[in-house]
Amino acid sequence: MAVSDSSLSTSLWELSRLFLKLGAIGFGGPQAHIAMINDEAVQRRQWFSQDAFSDGLAICEMLPGPASTQMGIYTGYVRAGQLGALVAGLSFIAPAFVIVVGLSWAYFQFQQVPQLSALFFGVSPVMISIILGFCWKLGRKSIKDGVGIALAIAALLVASVLKLNTLLLFLIAGLLGLWLYGPKRPKNWPAKLLRGAFVPVLLGTAATGNGATSTVAVSGFWGSDRIAAYGWPLLSFFLQVGAFIFGGGLVIITLLEFEVVQKLGWLSTAEFLNGVAIGQLSPGPVVLTAAFVGYKVAGLLGAMVATMGIFTPSFIFIMAAAPLLLKLRQNPWVQGFLKGVKPAVVGAIAAAAIPLGQSAYGEGSVLTGMIAVGISLVALVALIRFRQPTWLLVLAGAVIGIACSPLLA
């Protein structure tokens, strides 16, 4: 698939330099990352054609996982085969991983400092707006009919009321998508759906157990005393998350909020929301929030294990199955499954925003709550109407939070 006569070592070095740079300056979210990759690999270096790039992008958007990271892996695969995919992907992830780990250390080290609390007072409502804005944009893109709206509402109710495991919810929604949108769809399926297609979802197994009764204390920097106990739970959980992040990086919120906050007690609600903010503030893929979680649980070693877990499925999908995925992209069964999952993702994100909003708006006095709501509304308008970049909104929220620090004393 390579389009250059350069030696393999030269190609790998070019890929490493390019994606280390993109990983260090890649602010603005996945669409900005994809645009940068297109500019560098297609327009400037002409490593492959625009049509080939579009085919690769269609594959990455079809797959679970962070599309921009997968596009980097795909670019490396086209340029230099399997080794190229590995080098490009790791180079893109590495700079942001280092930044997130550094910010995670600073956050937990100075968590009780009043100025830091004030900073995140302004950041937290901005994060709610980013989540709701993402939900709105994803809904407009993925919900095409009344049935999609019904699926999204059902997912919202199931996720918020029954506390159904998010992975199971997505699986059930995908199976409903096969039934409703697959090549052998039932006759009169809209009426049948309204009469009872949601029964399997509504009767689904709710999460078992009473949830975590306390939150895990922060680990030491290296995490060597924790990794034996938490290494496998971190790896197995984030492997599952990496295999089921349909719809973009912020879908990680739906999977993490229930599991790591409510069920496992690895993070408090406030820590989780601030961790997502750190993921937004850093360059590279937002799913590196996983490194924040891993650091809290088991230090640097935990951050490495969590990051390895969440990105491994993306490497496997592209490196092991890229030719097959080109054929599967138009498969009606695959399309039907995704048409069921995507509205459920929208509903699940909305459900996850409810407890996060309670944390962002409900702490402190009535006055501070009203200020937080105001920050959130302004950020939402700036995001949707004026298309301001998320990292800039996070910085603006931090400045406002520090300015409001006298009110929080």
2-54 pLDDT, tens digit per residue, is: 444 458 888 999 999 999 999 988 876 787 788 889 999 998 899 988 888 88
Band of residue 247 on the pLDDT scale cut at 50, 70, 90: low
| This prediction's pTM | 0.80
Question: CB-based contacts of 145: which residues, under 8 Å, 6+ apart?
Answer: none
Q: What percent of the chain has pLDDT over 70?
A: 88
Return the structure tokens found at 226: 């924790």
E-assigned strand segments in 232-350: none
Residue 204 has pLDDT above 60, yes or no: no
The β-bridge partners of 164 are 206
Assigned token pair, 100: 């997130």
Torsion, Cα 336 338 341 342, to 10 degrees, reads -120
CA nearest 37: which of 28, 369, 26? 26
Backbone dihedral region of 246: left (phi > 0), alpha (psi from -120 to 50 degrees) or beta? beta
List C-alpha distances in Å: 321 to 63, 277, 315, 326, 338. 11, 33, 10, 9, 18
pLDDT of residue 323: 67
